[in-house]
């Protein structure tokens, strides 16, 4: 919290501030409250609000936190703030601050601005822009409610005993899904088929200008999983909803995917359709739990509005980009009817002279081996106006890209001809194919876990940190609560669900599954060069620290897990260090022995190399514990 010129001002005490969440269409209010007692300098501001379930009843819950700005006189967010992002916590039916706060004595009028959910570093100094986002997976209550960005403004407030009410309005859009049985199906039969629904390729982050009320700079496209449980109502299935950032849908960019009875139905959202702020929309999807033809794709036209039911249209073959299982892995393999690998399709980050975007790229396979040195660009993510069909050529020596733009207008699918070539126009000799996600399948005794894979440049990485308590032969790794300076036993430590290994565990040679390895210094260096030393491209989009954001454009998906280390050189034990600011990963030398750690920090975009200590400080290495990320061998 920052207070301006506290030494030169007198104050009215602010006892507490409360806020009331309103219905989505309620606008911000302008208050002018005054009485004769305001001249005394001792009038507190007191507000209250009922506490119920905000998800169910549009009110705040206990422990919800709002951020409050107070502007004195003609102050603005971008020039000066008297109260700067002060957190207020809801407790006992009213929000309270951690300490006693005061009005500026010399202010004739003040303005309050409040938002939810609270962020410690919301608006940078000299700006009125706030980065806002929604969770892509809103299945859990917490992720659903935290996606609900709300704002309240009360202007021209004169200090008095009267309440100042901050009516919070929803600034995002809420979407409800309805499954309507067709073709002899019933709501019960649909429910028995375990329907799963998602919105695909939706923008999940943007910048909101709190002074102008405008939303812009949308980025980070994700597949969105809704909140709620299907229930029967009026012969349909209802109960699942998702909060989305307001956005206009462009052609061939966003879809609704319904998985039911083991098959996918894909509905394309019509071009120029808009998810409007504050609006609640209902998407009604006619569907059946009976079998349909292989690779059948269905779409709906929303041009007449959301109240109309969607009609399914058979697009007669091809592979829809929306149906690709990139939610499971960013690398997918294409097989023919006989189960032969004929191609690979990757959702990857292209960084070259003429391109700097995420794209879907196809690579041919010959005799079951993928040629990943040359590919065809099938789709450029977030750029529906960009032409496609261009080529990428990779240099494995220095991990660089040569990109040649295509001349084909963007489409929503690709095809495979009988020569196993991926094409964007429907060929006469089209063949039916199957697309499956490629995973690193890690078998350790009775434990089997699959990790997603991501292609970054010419490298294939696991898209998640390896987190196991077993060696590859199924034996247990010893667990420690701290790492002593004399620790020589291979072990791991756990904090908040994350696993950290000491270097001894890696040097056993029993921690990494066949076909993969701990990256060496040169391989980390190639990654560092490809992302141009910008670690925001490696961080998960929901990793926010001190207002510093990540875009996860590479799909590496690092998060602030922290590490195990000794805080000072005098420490004799290594303990968990806070994970909000960074994460460390092990790297090896030419003999595949651990040589140090690479550190991804939020306070700096640099990927820092931390070599092992030598000489008198060598024993400090025993107190280090780091996360483990693997690269294909």
Q: In the predicted model, is pLDDT for residue 322 greater than 90?
A: no
**Tokens (6 digits) for 429:** 């000799």
**Most trustworthy range by pLDDT among 149-163, 196-210, 452-466:** 452-466
Let me know if residue 133 belongs to a domain. no
Q: In the predicted model, is pLDDT for residue 269 greater than 80?
A: no
Mean pLDDT of the region 470-477: 94
Q: Are 267 and 385 part of one and the same domain?
A: no
Mean pLDDT of the region 600-624: 74
Q: Are 251 and 381 part of one and the same domain?
A: no
Q: In the predicted model, is pLDDT for residue 52 greater than 70?
A: no
**Range in 112-121, 298-307, 528-537 the model is least confident about:** 298-307
Q: Are 81 and 177 part of one and the same domain?
A: no
Q: Are 252 and 305 part of one and the same domain?
A: yes
Q: Which pLDDT score is estimated for 323?
A: 81
- Total domains present in the chain: 4
CATH number of the domain at 283, please. 2.60.40.2630
Mean pLDDT of the region 39-52: 42
Q: In the predicted model, is pLDDT for residue 618 greater than 50?
A: yes
Q: In the predicted model, is pLDDT for residue 70 greater than 70?
A: yes
Mean pLDDT of the region 304-310: 34
Q: Are 96 and 156 part of one and the same domain?
A: yes
The residue among 411, 437, 463 that closes a domain is 437
Q: CA-to-CA distance for 24 and 276, rounded, in angstroms?
A: 11
Q: Are 488 and 534 part of one and the same domain?
A: yes
Q: In the predicted model, is pLDDT for residue 8 greater than 50?
A: no
Q: Are 163 and 194 part of one and the same domain?
A: no
Q: Are 52 and 103 part of one and the same domain?
A: yes
Q: CA-to-CA distance for 402 and 395, rounded, in angstroms?
A: 8
Q: Are 338 and 352 part of one and the same domain?
A: yes
Work out the pLDDT band at 23, boundaries 50, 70, 90: very low
Q: Which pLDDT score is estimated for 16?
A: 41
Average pLDDT of the chain is 80
Q: In the predicted model, is pLDDT for residue 53 greater than 80?
A: no
Q: Which pLDDT score is estimated for 394?
A: 95
Q: Which pLDDT score is estimated for 276?
A: 86
Considering the entire predicted model, what is its pTM? Answer: 0.70
Q: Are 184 and 101 part of one and the same domain?
A: no
**Range in 27-36, 369-378, 431-440 the model is least confident about:** 27-36
Q: Which pLDDT score is estimated for 11?
A: 39
Let me know if residue 325 belongs to a domain. no
**Range in 286-300, 451-465, 541-555, 589-603 the model is least confident about:** 286-300
Rounded (5°) CA angle 192-224-241: 60
* DSSP codes joined into one string, 13-80: EE----EEE--TTPPPEE-----GGGGGS-PPP--------HHHHSSPPTT-EEEEEEEETT--TTT-
Q: In the predicted model, is pLDDT for residue 476 greater than 80?
A: yes
Q: Which residues contact 194 (CB under 8 A, 6 or more apart)?
A: 260, 261
Pure H helices in 459-608 = 503-507, 521-530
Q: CA-to-CA distance for 122 and 128, rounded, in angstroms?
A: 10
Mean pLDDT of the region 436-465: 93
Q: Which pLDDT score is estimated for 6?
A: 30
Q: What is the DSSP letter of 98?
A: S
Let me know if residue 455 belongs to a domain. yes
Q: Are 600 and 481 part of one and the same domain?
A: yes
Let me know if residue 191 belongs to a domain. yes
Percent of the chain clearing pLDDT 90 (strictly above):
36
Q: Which pLDDT score is estimated for 548?
A: 63
Q: Which pLDDT score is estimated for 345?
A: 97
Q: Which pLDDT score is estimated for 120?
A: 81
The residue among 373, 408, 437 that closes a domain is 437
Let me know if residue 348 belongs to a domain. yes
* 8 Å CB contact between 598 and 611: no
Q: Which residue has the higher pLDDT, 533 or 343?
A: 343
* 8 Å CB contact between 324 and 293: no
Q: Are 383 and 411 part of one and the same domain?
A: yes
User: 176-212 pLDDT, tens per residue?
Assistant: 898 888 877 899 999 999 999 999 888 998 999 998 8
User: Nearest-CA neighbor of 221 among 267, 259, 252?
Assistant: 252
Let me know if residue 321 belongs to a domain. no
Q: Which pLDDT score is estimated for 453?
A: 96
Work out the pLDDT band at 142, boundaries 50, 70, 90: confident
Q: Which pLDDT score is estimated for 209?
A: 93
* DSSP codes joined into one string, 351-420: EETTEEEEEEEEEEEETTEE-TTEEEEEEETT-TTS-B--EEEEETTTTEEEEE---BPP-SEEEEBTT-
In a 3-state reduction of DSSP, which class is residue 145?
A: helix
CATH number of the domain at 158, please. 2.60.40
In a 3-state reduction of DSSP, which class is residue 126?
A: coil
Q: Which pLDDT score is estimated for 59?
A: 67
Q: Which pLDDT score is estimated for 32?
A: 37
Let me know if residue 479 belongs to a domain. yes
Mean pLDDT of the region 255-271: 79
**Most trustworthy range by pLDDT among 138-147, 267-276, 481-490, 513-522:** 513-522
Q: CA-to-CA distance for 361 and 344, rounded, in angstroms?
A: 8
Q: In the predicted model, is pLDDT for residue 22 greater than 70?
A: no
User: 341-359 pLDDT, tens per residue?
Assistant: 999 999 999 999 889 999 9
Q: Which pLDDT score is estimated for 7?
A: 30
Q: In the predicted model, is pLDDT for residue 554 greater than 90?
A: yes
User: 105-117 pLDDT, tens per residue?
Assistant: 777 888 888 899 8
In a 3-state reduction of DSSP, which class is residue 268?
A: strand
Work out the pLDDT band at 446, boundaries 50, 70, 90: confident
Q: Which pLDDT score is estimated for 373?
A: 94
The residue among 437, 457, 478 that closes a domain is 437
Q: Which pLDDT score is estimated for 61?
A: 74
Mean pLDDT of the region 575-585: 79
Q: In the predicted model, is pLDDT for residue 122 greater than 90?
A: no
Let me know if residue 323 belongs to a domain. no
Domain that holds residue 238: 173-316
Q: Which pLDDT score is estimated for 57?
A: 54
Q: In the predicted model, is pLDDT for residue 294 greater than 80?
A: no
């Amino acid at each position: 919290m920052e207070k301006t010129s506290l030494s030169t001002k007198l104050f009215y005490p602010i006892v507490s501030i409360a806020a009331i969440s309103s219905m989505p269409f309620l606008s911000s209010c302008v208050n002018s409250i005054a009485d004769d007692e305001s001249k005394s300098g001792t009038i507190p501001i007191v507000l209250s609000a009922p506490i119920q379930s905000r998800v169910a009843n549009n009110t705040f819950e206990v422990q919800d936190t709002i951020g409050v700005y107070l502007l004195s006189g003609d102050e603005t967010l971008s020039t000066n703030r008297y109260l700067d992002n002060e957190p207020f916590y809801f407790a006992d039916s009213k929000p309270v601050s951690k300490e006693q706060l005061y009005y500026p004595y010399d202010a004739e009028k003040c303005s309050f601005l409040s938002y939810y959910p609270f962020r410690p570093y919301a608006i940078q100094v000299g700006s009125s822009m706030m980065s806002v986002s929604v969770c892509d997976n809103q299945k859990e209550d917490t992720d659903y409610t935290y996606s609900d960005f709300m704002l309240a403004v009360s202007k021209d407030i004169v200090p008095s005993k009267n309440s100042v009410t901050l009516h919070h309005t929803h600034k995002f859009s809420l979407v409800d899904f309805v499954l309507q049985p067709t073709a002899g199906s019933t709501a019960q039969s649909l429910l028995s088929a375990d329907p799963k629904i998602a919105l695909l390729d939706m923008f999940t982050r943007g910048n909101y200008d709190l002074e102008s009320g405008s939303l812009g700079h949308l980025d980070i496209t994700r597949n969105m999983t809704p909140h709620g449980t299907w229930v029967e109502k009026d012969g349909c299935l209802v109960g699942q909803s998702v909060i989305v950032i307001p956005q206009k849908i462009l052609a061939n960019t966003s879809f609704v995917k319904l998985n039911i009875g083991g098959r996918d139905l894909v509905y394309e959202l019509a071009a120029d359709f808009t998810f409007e702020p504050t609006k609640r929309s209902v998407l009604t999807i006619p569907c059946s739990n009976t079998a349909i033809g292989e690779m059948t794709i269905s779409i709906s036209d929303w041009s007449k509005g959301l109240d109309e039911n969607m009609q399914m249209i058979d697009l007669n073959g091809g592979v829809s980009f929306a149906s690709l299982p990139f939610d499971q892995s960013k690398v997918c393999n294409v097989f023919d009817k006989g189960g032969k690998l004929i191609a690979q399709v990757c959702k990857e980050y292209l960084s070259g002279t003429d391109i700097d975007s995420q794209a879907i790229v196809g690579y041919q396979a010959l005799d079951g081996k993928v040629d990943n040195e040359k590919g065809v660009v099938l789709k450029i993510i977030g750029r529906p106006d960009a032409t496609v069909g261009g080529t990428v050529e990779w240099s494995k020596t220095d991990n660089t890209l040569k990109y040649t733009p295509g001349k084909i207008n963007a489409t929503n699918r690709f095809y495979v001809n009988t020569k196993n070539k991926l094409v964007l126009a429907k060929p006469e000799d089209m063949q039916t194919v199957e697309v499956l996600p490629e995973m690193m399948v890690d078998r350790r005794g009775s434990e089997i876990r699959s990790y997603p894979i991501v292609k970054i440049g010419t490298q294939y990485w696991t898209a998640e940190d390896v987190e196991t308590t077993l060696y590859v032969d199924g034996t247990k790794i010893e667990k420690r609560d701290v790492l002593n300076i004399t620790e020589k036993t291979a072990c791991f430590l756990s904090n908040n669900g994350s696993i950290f290994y000491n270097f001894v565990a890696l040097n056993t040679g029993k921690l990494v599954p066949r076909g993969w390895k701990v990256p060496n210094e040169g391989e980390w260096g190639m990654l560092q060069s490809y992302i141009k030393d910008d670690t925001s491209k490696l961080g998960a989009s929901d990793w926010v620290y001190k207002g510093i954001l990540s875009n996860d454009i590479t799909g590496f998906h690092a998060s602030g897990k922290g590490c195990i280390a000794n805080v000072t050189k005098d420490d004799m034990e290594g303990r968990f260090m806070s994970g909000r600011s960074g994460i460390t990963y092990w790297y090896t030398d030419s003999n595949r022995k651990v040589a140090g750690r690479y550190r991804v920090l939020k306070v700096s975009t640099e990927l820092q190399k931390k070599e092992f200590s030598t000489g008198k400080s060598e024993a400090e290495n025993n107190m280090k514990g780091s996360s483990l990320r693997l690269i294909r061998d």
